[in-house]
Every structure is written in structure tokens, then in C-alpha cells.
Structure 1
């Protein structure tokens, strides 16, 4: 059973660290598609949601998409 998950990523450049808390809000687990979407939490430098999806096609090719 899937449950929403909180995460906290950090982005850094040299000595500057920026916290980026987020939460997985949706998971795709279908026969030919896998992916997830996450939303930002307070303290994240941006605001919104982003989704990542992998899809395997009948000819064997795989595509990756990102929606934000």
C-alpha cells in the first residue's frame, strides 16, 4: 500500500545549501507506466508540483516525461 512520503532535498553550490522540502502526492504503477508526482512544502525555494513518468511502448522504446 502506498502512502504519501515527505522528503527533504538540499541543493548546494560550493558552500551555499538550500533546503528543498517536498512531499510525494501521487504514484503511477501501471503495467507499462511508472512515475510519481511531488509537491513543495513550506521552506522550499519554489512553489508547485512536478511529475515524472516513464512509459514503455509496444515497440520496446521507453519515454520519460516531466511535467511541472
Structure 2
């Protein structure tokens, strides 16, 4: 997914604390996805949100404070 984001001109900020995973995250600059591969990944978008609507994430619905920053 990191390579896909880069080729689409998007910024991606991966998060990991494990050294092996951090190294894997950097290993996206020595290859490119083909146009076919990019199209296949693009085709996965259903246009439907997988999680709650952002406005619905409140103390009342989740039962704990949601940090603002």
C-alpha cells in the first residue's frame, strides 16, 4: 500500500515500533507497480466507509474521551 500511495502522488505516514517492520516500510523505492496493479488496487474502493462517520466518534458513542490532537 505504501508503494501505491507513493505512485499516486499521495503522502503516507506508516507507523511501526518494530525495527524489522520499519525497514520493510522503507523498502518501497526499488520497484514500481504496473499500471495493471495500480488499477486493481484502485478497483478495491467501494465508496463505502469501513468505520464510523467522523462526526459519530464522540464520548457518548464510544464511552471514553476522544483526544483532539
| TM bucket normalised to smaller | under 0.3
Structure whose residues are more often helix by fraction: 2
TM-score (norm 1): 0.22
Which of the two has higher C-alpha Rg? 2
Alignment TM-score, normalising by the size of structure 2 = 0.22
In terms of fraction of residues, the more strand-rich structure is 1
